[in-house]
Structure 1
Amino acid sequence: MSSPSPLAPSPAPVTAWALTPGSIGHEVQCIGVVEALGLAPVVKRVDPSPPFRWLAPWGPAAVDGAIAPPWPDLLVVSGRQAIPYARMIRRHSEGRTLVVCLQNPVAPLSWFDLVWTNVHDGVAGPNVLTTLTSPNTLTRPRLDLGAAALAARLGPMPRPWIGGIVGGTSGAYAFSAEEATRLGAALADLAGRTGGSVVVTPSRRTPPASLAALDAALAAALPAERRWLWDGTTGDNPYFGILGGAGVLVVTCDSVNMLGEAAYTGTPVYAFPLSGGTPKFAAFHAAMLAAGAMRWLDDAALAAAVTDGSLAAWTYEPLNANAVIAARIAALLAARGHRVAAF
């Protein structure tokens, strides 16, 4: 009898780094893409000192003891300060590390194996992938857990929840107290006609005076047991809970990420207009409307949003940039002999 053949060794797990300057916007996108591949990212943050900071993305990478071999199979970077490290790792790994840049690097596209940007950024090239919305860390299980946690936090607050996701003043938009009052009135109107409740979360950009005006408008129209506004001082941000549990989402128009994350859910999304705008925002909004993933919350839409005491149902294909980006990366990894569990 012949002895049994030895088992073939299992392939080594694919390793992945998410490398950014540490800002939440950059980091969330990198982590979300790596997780969509079924991988656990090793999070790396860089904070180079001058003159390296001034020279990025064109200059060399500063010495950083945390950025050292063994190099990962996959490197996902975002942010100007991260790009010199991406170039260094690609060079020192002799091309074995697949290097992906999220957002427009404002540098030669040839420095990367893949570049992702939003469609409205207008970046094109043979190694460029574009999607309407941005990558994030949303998953259905996380949204469901968030909704359950928020329901326990709010107690018997009447449904449906009218979810308010509020941005604020930026380089492109203003969010005045007058606009906040109008937003509060619109949210209260939807709750009043459905018998539901308003649940709101602001962003770090929401001006305190505008948040106070929004709160006052809700208080003038709804009893305390049918309104809840997170003021940022108690408990965790209910953002995932509102995205996961609301029957309708009203999102200020000033954030590509907030609107895109709302459109991940498949829940009806109304964009609340603010003063200001840019051509890029106009292009993004137009594309969201064309995809059926958002409607403007104007007087006509507000009137039509409720039928016979119930939220008017409208559907669209949820927008999942993570899946699109991860599929392209998985194909590039497969060409190098790496397989990931999610694909």
Structure 2
Amino acid sequence: MTSAPSPLRIWVVSDGRTGIENQGLGLVEAISRQRAVDLSVKRIGWRGGFGRLPWWLNPAPLRLLAPGSEIAPPWPDIWIAVGRATLPLSLRMRRWSQGRTMVVQLQDPRAPPSAFDLVIPPKHDRMRGDNVFPILGSPHRVTPERLAADHARFAAQLSALPRPRVAVLIGGKSKAFDISPERAAALAHEIELPVTQDGGSVMVTFSRRTPEAAQAILAARLRHLPGMVWDGSGDNPYFAFLAAADYILVTEESTNMAAEAASTGKPVFVLKMEGESLKFRLFHEELERLGAARPFGGAFHSWTYPPLAETDRAASEVLRRYDNRA
């Protein structure tokens, strides 16, 4: 009788920001659906101003880590790192582990892909290479099981809401986009009219990047509608909103929220913000080509499409390459 293989020891390494860390956790959770995993989450920081410097100006990263950054051997089987802060470590991990650790970097590292075993960037970054595996959007933690569990937790607040139920996912300021008070007021009007006409309800959530003035305007102008406007206190109903929604509205600056929404198989409408970006236009065009999303034109309509499963696809690629190394 053969014994079961040992779990894969996987580290998820990031600077601890929730949106960044969740990309790595989502990928590991997808791997764990195919293989036993022993997960460790590593949150790092840098002493002084070294976290703001380019990776090539950090000459001794292990000595310059801030207290609490527990990066030390024994090294994992698979190192999954997310974000610029991890690069001084990721770029040396293969040498430190003498090639035993498979180094996976999420997002575009702005460093030679050959320095890693696998890079998983968004498709719209247009990276190419033998060890580059682009996906639409970013890895995430949305699964039917998670949606069902969170929907059950918020059933008392959501089950009686009139249909259609519209999840409204508001992001905020980024390098390419912004949401001024004027645009926030216009968005509120664009959302309010069809919800009122259809006799539906709203489920509104904001991100940490939503400007305070824009959040206040949207909350004030949508709160009179049937539904729920999350004010940031208590448990986050984000996954429950996705589960309960008939339609999902998402602002155009967030690839994460759009990819998560498209994994539900529900109609996704993209809300226009202030600003332009070629990368984001390519991303939304790909979502449209796959039938997942359309620009919001002030009215709701239904369609169907296969839910996006990019995180599971990336997990399969990690395991395929890991097995080939062995």
TM-score by length of 1: 0.86
Whether the 8 Å CA contact 1:77–1:100 is kept in 2: the answer is yes
How far the C-alpha of 1:98 sits from its partner, in A, is: 0.8
Q: 1:216 to 1:332 in 2, by over 3 A?
A: same
Aligned-CA RMSD value:
2.0
Please name the residue that 1:99 is paired with: 103
Whether the 8 Å CA contact 1:52–1:61 is kept in 2: the answer is no
Please name the residue that 2:20 is paired with: 26
Answer yes or no: is 1:325 the counterpart of 2:314.
Answer: yes
Give the 3-state SS of the residue equivalent to 1:327 in structure 2: helix
Q: Measure the CA separation in 2 of the matches of 1:287 and 1:179.
A: 25
Please name the residue that 1:37 is paired with: 31
Residues 15-54 of structure 1, C-alpha deviation per residue, up to 9 Å, x if partnerless?
Answer: 1000112222221111111111113420011112247535
Q: 1:97 to 1:219 in 2, by over 3 A?
A: closer
Answer yes or no: is 1:201 the counterpart of 2:205.
Answer: yes
Q: 1:210 aligns with which of 208, 214, 217?
A: 214
Whether the 8 Å CA contact 1:167–1:206 is kept in 2: the answer is yes
Whether the 8 Å CA contact 2:158–2:227 is kept in 1: the answer is no
How far the C-alpha of 1:140 sits from its partner, in A, is: 1.1
Please name the residue that 2:75 is paired with: 71
Q: Measure the CA separation in 1 of the matches of 2:190 and 2:317.
A: 41
How far the C-alpha of 1:80 sits from its partner, in A, is: 2.1
Please name the residue that 1:340 is paired with: none
Q: Measure the CA separation in 1 of the matches of 2:4 and 2:250.
A: 47
Q: Measure the CA separation in 1 of the matches of 2:275 and 2:143.
A: 32
Q: Measure the CA separation in 1 of the matches of 2:191 and 2:52.
A: 45
Please name the residue that 2:228 is paired with: 228
Give the 3-state SS of the residue equivalent to 1:15 in structure 2: strand
Moved over 6 A (4+): none
Q: 1:333 to 1:213 in 2, by over 3 A?
A: same
Whether the 8 Å CA contact 2:158–2:244 is kept in 1: the answer is no
> Counterpart amino acid of 2:231?
D
Report 1:246-257 matches (<5 A). 246-257=245-256
Please name the residue that 2:124 is paired with: 120
Please name the residue that 1:173 is paired with: 177
**Which runs of no fewer than 5 residues in structure 2 stay unpaired?**
none
How far the C-alpha of 1:179 sits from its partner, in A, is: 2.3
Please name the residue that 2:295 is paired with: 296
How far the C-alpha of 1:9 sits from its partner, in A, is: 4.1
Residues 131-171 of structure 1, C-alpha deviation per residue, up to 9 Å, x if partnerless?
Answer: 12210111111111122222223463223311111112322
Q: Measure the CA separation in 1 of the matches of 2:71 and 2:303.
A: 48
Q: Measure the CA separation in 1 of the matches of 2:2 and 2:219.
A: 64
Give the 3-state SS of the residue equivalent to 1:179 in structure 2: helix
Whether the 8 Å CA contact 1:48–1:62 is kept in 2: the answer is no
Q: 1:71 to 1:245 in 2, by over 3 A?
A: same
Q: Measure the CA separation in 1 of the matches of 2:223 and 2:71.
A: 52
Give the 3-state SS of the residue equivalent to 1:32 in structure 2: helix
Q: 1:55 to 1:156 in 2, by over 3 A?
A: closer
Residues 83-118 of structure 1, C-alpha deviation per residue, up to 9 Å, x if partnerless?
Answer: 222233211221111110001111121111000111
Q: Measure the CA separation in 1 of the matches of 2:157 and 2:20.
A: 30
Q: What's the % identity of the aligned pairs?
A: 40
TM-score by length of 2: 0.90
Whether the 8 Å CA contact 2:163–2:200 is kept in 1: the answer is yes
Question: Which stretch of the first structure deviates more once superposed, 59-68 or 35-44?
Answer: 59-68
Q: Measure the CA separation in 2 of the matches of 1:122 and 1:324.
A: 18
How far the C-alpha of 1:8 sits from its partner, in A, is: 3.6
Q: 1:82 to 1:141 in 2, by over 3 A?
A: same
> Counterpart amino acid of 1:227?
G
Please name the residue that 1:62 is paired with: 62
Residues 208-260 of structure 1, C-alpha deviation per residue, up to 9 Å, x if partnerless?
Answer: 2222222333256x3xxx1321111x322211111111000011112111111
Whether the 8 Å CA contact 2:31–2:315 is kept in 1: the answer is yes
Whether the 8 Å CA contact 1:78–1:103 is kept in 2: the answer is yes
Question: Which stretch of the first structure deviates more once superposed, 85-94 or 269-278?
Answer: 85-94
Please name the residue that 1:341 is paired with: none
Whether the 8 Å CA contact 1:32–1:135 is kept in 2: the answer is yes
Answer yes or no: is 1:161 the counterpart of 2:165.
Answer: yes
Q: 1:270 to 1:50 in 2, by over 3 A?
A: same
Please name the residue that 1:335 is paired with: 324
Give the 3-state SS of the residue equivalent to 2:121 in structure 1: strand
Please name the residue that 1:186 is paired with: 190
Q: Measure the CA separation in 2 of the matches of 1:259 and 1:139.
A: 14
**Which runs of no fewer than 5 residues in structure 1 stay unpaired?**
1-6, 306-311, 338-343
